Chains A and B, each alone.
Chain A
Amino acid sequence: MSIRVNLDRVLLERRMSLTELSDRVGVTIANLSILKTGKARAIRFSTLDALCRELNCQPGDLMTFEHGPGEGHDED
């Protein structure tokens, strides 16, 4: 997938741990790890909304699109 998740960078900038974010947004650490490592297939608007509110950022700060070899195709 060509979407890169920058959650680790945003967390570092906010000096916030994954555990703290998990408590604030109500998403399990396991699921946040999946998101952080780029293994997630989709993200709910409600999750994105909670992340942006707690991290005080825009959706674009959390993820970026990168041209790559798998562009336009899902990796199964």
Chain B
Amino acid sequence: MRALGPGSVSSFLKIILDVSYYVLWIWVSLLALVTILVLLLSFNTDLLTSILPSELAEPLAKNGPGSAAALAGWALMSGGWMAIVERLRKIFATMTLGDPFHPENVRRLRVVGGILAALEVGRYVFAALTRVLIDGEKVVDGSFTLNAWFSVLVVFVLAEVFREGARLRREAELTI
């Protein structure tokens, strides 16, 4: 199987990363827009009742700020995913240029690991906050998942592997 070029696994992964990146951009923008709208509408109950039926307007007016906070949390988490995908795209770009052990990739992988860890902690906080803000409603599952922390560990191990790769690359550059 080809490592690079059309029809290779890497080209397939590149398409997935590119599509994910642009889909996440749209998703985060939409979420941010809806968050602002919900926040603005929740403070204007008169406008809400005039444009929405009362059975919809009342709960929205009551839970508006909480819902806006929940949506903002979703937007932040999606932003984290976007940041991860952006770094993966940059790592991939160095690979397609034939230089995967670029020293910058070590930092990128560490950032990815850090974001994954922050997203996991953020999920616990987000779940607890939304439960308090939206009348005990369970919007997000805030239970501990070992898989997520295992992924964080894998990324940090890979970052160390890349650091050693970058060191070997530097040595190879100065081998005459």
Chain B residue numbers with a CB within 8 Å of A47 are 176
Write out the residue numbers on chain B whose beta carbons fall within 8 Å of the beta carbon of A41: 170-171, 174-175
A14 at the interface (CB under 8 A from B): no
Chain B residues contacting A10 (CB-CB under 8 Å) are none
Cα of A43 to Cα of B16 in the assembled complex, Å: 43
What count of chain A residues pass the 8 Å CB interface test? 12
Kindly provide the distance from the CB of B171 to the nearest chain A CB, expressed in whole angstroms: 5
The docked-state distance in angstroms from the alpha carbon of A31 to that of B171 is 13
Interface centre among B171, B174, B175, B176 (most CB of A within 10 A): B176
* A-contact bits for B164-176, CB 8 A (1 contact / 0 none): 0000001100111
Q: Which residue of A lies closest to B167 (CB)?
A: A76
**Which residues 4-41 of A sit at the B interface, judged by CB distance below 8 A?**
27, 31-32, 34-35, 39-41
Q: Which residue of B lies closest to A42 (CB)?
A: B175
Complex Cα–Cα for A40 and B171 (A): 9
Residues of A within 8 A of B170 (CB): 41
Closest Cβ of chain A to B36, distance in Å, is: 49
Any chain B CB within 8 A of the CB of A44? yes
Judging by beta carbons under 8 Å apart, are B175 and A39 in contact? Answer: no
Q: State A44–B176 Cα separation when bound (angstroms).
A: 6
Give the CA-CA distance A31 to B176 in the complex, in Å.
Answer: 6
Which of chain B's residues has its CB closest to A31's CB? B176
Q: Which residues of A pack against B, CB within 8 Å? A: 27, 31-32, 34-35, 39-44, 47
